[in-house]
Amino acid sequence: MGTGKTDRDEWIVKCPKCGRIRESCRHVSREDVRRIVRLLDAGVEVYQADEERESSEPHLHEPVRPVAQLVTPRYTMDDLVLAESTKEGLLDALAELRHKGLMYRRWGLKKVVKKTKGLSLLFAGPPGTGKTMAAEAIASELGRPMHVVNYAQLENMWVGETEKNIEQVFRAAFEAGAVLFFDEADAVFQRRGVMATPWMNRDVNVLLSQMENYAGVVILATNLARVMDRALDRRIDIAVEFPLPDAPLRRKIFERLVPSEAPLAKIDFDALAAKYQLSGGSILNVVRQAMRSSLRRGKRHRITMEDFTRAAERELKKSALLSTDHLQEAPRRERIGGYA
């Protein structure tokens, strides 16, 4: 490694994000500079600063910007209202994570797999069914922080940067002992398809191999399990399905999400749960909307059944508006079951 002070830069990069800088920045590394010509379209300007310098000198390692968001888990397993099969999957995961030492050492699993494996989970189901919440609950049951990543944050227009971000994300999560949570993981994995460019495929490969070698806990959440890369199948240890709640579960979710302090008129939650096929996330919206419409009449008024009914009708229309076909389809049990 050269000493930073005497090093002279080979290039000066003008980054459209942070202006004119020397050497490299959070957005553009030196390796990228070699490829930058291809990226001129994006508005990058590159100046050759010192033609005499050798390019083989290794450059100082810039700290890579954090691309994961640190989340202190707020939810516990008790906050979740889940179908039996969903709960089973989560409890299996927790059993292994709590007794990993026992499984791998005393029960000899380490001899069979040759290393202490991490645990990878896939949470698949429509939006608002509690996937994010469940990831938080797992982290809080283990007393770990959670690192949340989504592909939009990982993806970088500069070739090579995404790959570095992925590696950085795994390293940082491992060092922090955090549960690593990839939200909207389908966005990453469906890249390896028609529209993918060669380097995008490479990013997916990097992600898969990181997962394979990761010794910590990684959770992928997706609304679209079936568009996920097939190569993912064997990297997933436990697949957990998050179906839309049925009427009895919806009833329980209403109970959970309507605070006992809320001034309610007589509300027939059984009827609401039976009539409106809503996800947990939508039920939360309904509760908030019912409060709002009651407040519009004044603070002293109770929240009425009518407030809830109207809010539910509205929420149903909203989800019809927002959802596309693939989100409406019933989750494919056989396929998902095959992961585990």
Ligand X SMILES: Nc1ncnc2c1ncn2[C@@H]1O[C@H](COP(=O)(O)OP(=O)(O)O)[C@@H](O)[C@H]1O
* Residue ranges that bind ligand X, judged by CB under 6 A: 80-82, 127-133, 221, 242, 253, 256-257, 280-281, 284
> Which of 100/252 has CB closer to ligand X?
252
Please choose, out of 130-138, 268-276, 283-291, 295-303, the segment that lies near Mg ion by the rule CB under 5 A. 130-138
- Residue of minimal Cβ distance to Mg ion: 132
- Residue of minimal Cβ distance to ligand X: 280
Q: Locate tokens 């994000």: which residue?
A: 17
Min dist CB 233 to ligand X, Å, is 21
Phi (first) and psi of residue 266, to 5 degrees: -75, 115
Min dist CB 243 to ligand X, Å, is 10
- Residue 162's binding partner out of Mg ion, ligand X, none, with CB under 5 to 8 Å set by partner kind: none
> Which of 137/166 has CB closer to ligand X?
137
Task: List the structure tokens of 60.
Answer: 């100082």
Is 29 one of the binding residues for Mg ion (CB under 5 A)? no
CA distances from 220 to 211, 236, 295, 325 (A): 10, 9, 39, 22
Q: Are strands 217-222 and 179-183 parallel, antiparallel or unpaired?
A: parallel
Min dist CB 11 to ligand X, Å, is 43
What number of helices (H) and strands (E) belong to the chain? Answer: 15, 9
- Residue 280's binding partner out of Mg ion, ligand X, none, with CB under 5 to 8 Å set by partner kind: ligand X
Task: Kindly state the helix (H) or strand (E) to which residue 185 belongs, with its residue range.
Answer: none
Size of the site for Mg ion (CB under 5 A): 1
> Which of 118/126 has CB closer to Mg ion?
126
Min dist CB 239 to ligand X, Å, is 15
Cα distance between residue 224 and residue 221, in whole Å: 9
Q: Are strands 69-71 and 119-124 parallel, antiparallel or unpaired?
A: unpaired
Is 132 one of the binding residues for Mg ion (CB under 5 A)? yes
> Which of 20/74 has CB closer to ligand X?
74
CA angle 33, 39, 44 (to 5 degrees): 75
Q: Locate tokens 């990097």: which residue?
A: 206
Min dist CB 274 to ligand X, Å, is 18
Q: What is the signed CA dihedral for 298, 302, 303, 305, rounded to 10 degrees?
A: -130
Phi (first) and psi of residue 290, to 5 degrees: -60, -40
Min dist CB 89 to Mg ion, Å, is 17
- Residue 272's binding partner out of Mg ion, ligand X, none, with CB under 5 to 8 Å set by partner kind: none
Which among 263, 218, 199 is positioned nearest to 97, based on CA atoms?
218
Min dist CB 183 to Mg ion, Å, is 6
Cα distance between residue 339 and residue 89, in whole Å: 12
> Which of 159/290 has CB closer to ligand X?
290
Is 279 one of the binding residues for Mg ion (CB under 5 A)? no
Residues that bind Mg ion (CB under 5 A): 132
